Copies of this chain bind each other. A is one copy, B any other.
Amino acid sequence: MRPSGRDLSEMRAVSIDTDVTKHAEGSCLIKIGDTHVLCTASLEERVPPFIKGSGLGWVTAEYGMLPRSTSSRMRREAAAGKQGGRTVEIQRLIGRSLRAGVDRVALGERQITVDCDVLQADGGTRCAAITGGWVALRLAVNKLMKAGDVLSDPLLSPVAAVSCGIYAGQPVLDLDYPEDSAAGVDGNFVMRGDGRLIEVQMSAEGAAFSREELDTLMGLADLGVQNLVAVQKAAVA
């Protein structure tokens, strides 16, 4: 029934290659099916003005799509002179999600910027960005710890995200682009490794959903995130 022939609760193949760029403190290339996102974590020994002197660290994220990561070429945001609303919304979500797994006292007064750049898109780029972004963050923090710059681990838990939705009347896990563009209800679940929720975003376009349906989707998401967390752990091991 799904365009890809997958089962309702079947994710696409997931792989995470680490240390893919020589400059970044942490980096990975995450592939979730045909969605490929390059994630880097950059460490700076300075923080934004609003927390200067607080002793707290900061984790933030930026997101971009290469112009031809999509089926027809998009305008380059740097050429357009601004980031679009969707980009801004996504990068705020990534930053909030990653921060929810960080002990900012333990991190100390420094900033880690996670850049998530989509090389190829086929649905679910923001979830891939969060999942891969956490791996890049983990690797960068490992360097800090190995150098003795932080003493206790500032990462409380893995953070991963997956999309779910109602496609052709059925609840499905991990929507690809054909499903995403046809689904009346879909959203993203960001969770910690222990299954607790960090962010739920579910929305209907030209439709509505019940509390029961949300519950079913959350069950699927739980499965998906467990899978992703296992891949994350293997990647950073």
B-binding residues in A (CB < 8 A): 21-24, 27, 34, 38, 40, 42, 44, 62, 64, 66-73, 76-83, 85-89, 91-92, 96, 99-100, 104, 113, 115, 117, 119-121, 187, 192, 194, 196-211, 214-215, 218
Q: Which residues of B contact A62 (CB under 8 A)?
A: 67, 76, 79
Min C-beta distance of A81 to chain B, whole Å = 6
Q: Are B68 and A24 in contact (CB under 8 A)?
A: yes
Known: A21-B68, A214-B218. 10 other contacts (CB 8 A): A40-B67, A42-B68, A42-B72, A76-B78, A76-B115, A85-B89, A197-B210, A200-B202, A200-B203, A211-B218
Query: Is chain A's binding surface mostly helix, strand, loop or mixed?
Result: mixed
Q: Which residues of B contact A79 (CB under 8 A)?
A: 62, 83
Min C-beta distance of A1 to chain B, whole Å = 23
Q: Are A70 and B23 in contact (CB under 8 A)?
A: yes
A80 CA / B67 CA spacing, docked (Å):
17
Q: Are A64 and B38 in contact (CB under 8 A)?
A: no
Q: Are B87 and A78 in contact (CB under 8 A)?
A: yes
Min C-beta distance of A95 to chain B, whole Å = 10
Q: Are B197 and A211 in contact (CB under 8 A)?
A: yes
20 contacting pairs across A/B (C-beta < 8 A): A21-B68, A22-B34, A23-B70, A23-B120, A27-B68, A38-B66, A38-B119, A42-B68, A76-B78, A76-B115, A78-B80, A78-B83, A89-B89, A89-B92, A100-B206, A104-B206, A196-B210, A199-B203, A200-B201, A200-B214
A40 CA / B18 CA spacing, docked (Å):
24
Chain B residue with the shortest CB-CB distance to A75: B62
A214 CA / B217 CA spacing, docked (Å):
13
Q: Which residues of B contact A214 (CB under 8 A)?
A: 197, 200, 218
Q: Are B207 and A115 in contact (CB under 8 A)?
A: no
Q: Are B96 and A203 in contact (CB under 8 A)?
A: yes
Contact among B91, B194, B209 with A196 in the assembled complex (CB-CB below 8 Å): B209
A91 CA / B76 CA spacing, docked (Å):
13
Q: Are A66 and B40 in contact (CB under 8 A)?
A: yes
Given contacts A78-B77, A82-B78, contact A22 B202 (CB under 8 A): no
